[in-house]
Structure 1
Amino acid sequence: MRVCAVHKNQIGRLIGAVFGLVFVLANAGAFPTAVAVPLRVLAILVFLKLFTGMRRKGAAPTEPDGTSDQTFGRGYRLAVAAEVLVGAGGLFVLARVLHVPEAAVGWIALVVGLHFFGLAVAWRMPAVHVLAAALTVCGAAGLALAGADAPHAAVAAVSGIAPGVLLLSAVAWTVRSQERPVTAAGPS
């Protein structure tokens, strides 16, 4: 049973790292090549380091009693379903009704941040609320910038690059905080 929890924690970290990488890769194009290329290369290198660290260290339990509450059960599925529906609906409204497609990255960051509040509850991991709040603020700020006709690079930095860095950093923190390798015998 413990192996299942470890596997699920690994998958959760991998999903976070992939989305962090995607945020940076997708939004770096708003900058001149001299900035975009190093941002993309750095994001890829960080992702590869995290991936290697996740594989090498395994996943430590997240609860003091040695158990892990991070699952992909009903709460997770509801949070992701709401994210997809609200995200797609908002993107449609921004592009087709309000005619502000440049606000899309802000909307995506906002919705991703809000979905993390649901995940924090579903996983009973209060620390995830911090990441949720930070991503939500990035999204709201990006929407405000887009609404004020700020340059695309400003919106991309606040709602694309910053959330990517936050996600990669959160995963890095969890990988670094693993104190012991997982053993078949369980906690000692």
Structure 2
Amino acid sequence: MLQRMSGVFIGAFFGTVFVVANAHAPLNPALGLALRVLAVLTFAGLLTLALRAGRLGQPADGAGSPRADWFQGRFAFVVGAEAVLLIGGNLALRAAGAPAPTAVAWTALIVGLHFVALSAVWKRRSIAVPGLALTALGATGLVMAATSAVAWVPFVSGVLSGVALLGGCAYAITHTYRSAVNPRPPAAQ
């Protein structure tokens, strides 16, 4: 698969992890289980659709030849900053005595900001959409952590962030599949 599609798979995988790891109490156990199963099935469906698109002979990102530097340069800087902020921020929150659920809220916030930064690096505005959603859900969870609603932070910042990631990946993979099924003729020069 091309480099961009590997990024979509990573996003879908972590969206699934967000849901599976956070669909727990105070949710009803049956609802939590249903959300977990749905997330895993969604990931499997997206993987199947992407592989099918690849077999149809089209580029996996639907946009011609891949960029050789997709995961280098500024990307490496963004991911490095993300790692430092994730680890440093979670250590600082723990040292400050923040409730445990703030970790998932902080993670959603930083992962969201990472997608917003990558949308500028890769010049793909569509990446900013799930990024802004995760940023908002992470910030909401951080605010909730200071209230009596702290038990709901994993749902808001974890499960809903996972749904946003899976939705963004579903959009990208569906677009790729449609491009493979109905390729557009090259523009006249």
With the shorter chain as reference, the TM-score category is 0.7 to 0.9
TM-score under structure 2 length normalisation? 0.85
CA distance in 1, matches of 2:49, 2:80: 30
User: Gapped runs of 5+ residues in structure 2?
Assistant: 55-59
Q: Is the 8 A contact 1:60 1:181 kept in 2?
A: no
Q: Which deviates more from structure 2 when the two are superposed, residues 24-33 or residues 157-166?
A: 24-33
**Structure 1 residue 159: deviation in Å?**
0.2
The amino acid across from 2:43 in the alignment is: F
**Equivalent position of 2:24 in the other structure:** 29
1:162 aligns to 2:163 (yes or no): no
CA distance in 2, matches of 1:110, 1:128: 15
The alignment-based identity, stated in percent, is 38
CA distance in 2, matches of 1:96, 1:28: 26
TM-score under structure 1 length normalisation? 0.86
SS in 1 for 2:24: helix
1:47 aligns to 2:46 (yes or no): no
CA distance in 2, matches of 1:147, 1:124: 36
**Equivalent position of 1:137 in the other structure:** 136
**Equivalent position of 1:113 in the other structure:** 112
User: Gapped runs of 5+ residues in structure 1?
Assistant: 1-5
CA distance in 2, matches of 1:19, 1:38: 18
CA distance in 2, matches of 1:134, 1:33: 26
**Structure 1 residue 67: deviation in Å?**
4.9
**Equivalent position of 2:11 in the other structure:** 16
CA distance in 1, matches of 2:92, 2:148: 18
CA distance in 1, matches of 2:162, 2:133: 11
CA distance in 1, matches of 2:131, 2:174: 20
CA distance in 1, matches of 2:2, 2:127: 19
CA distance in 1, matches of 2:132, 2:61: 25
Q: Larger RCO: Structure 1 or Structure 2 (Cα < 8 Å, ≥ 6 residues apart)?
A: 2
* Structure 1 segments of 4+ aligned residues over 3 angstroms from their partners: 66-70
**RMSD between aligned alpha carbons?**
1.9
**Alignment size in residue pairs:** 175
Q: Deviations over 1:44-100 (max 9, x none)?
A: 1001000111111121334xxx45558111121111111110011111111122332
**Structure 1 residue 149: deviation in Å?**
3.1
Q: Deviations over 1:10-32 (max 9, x none)?
A: 21111010010000011012333
1:57 aligns to 2:53 (yes or no): yes
CA distance in 2, matches of 1:41, 1:148: 30
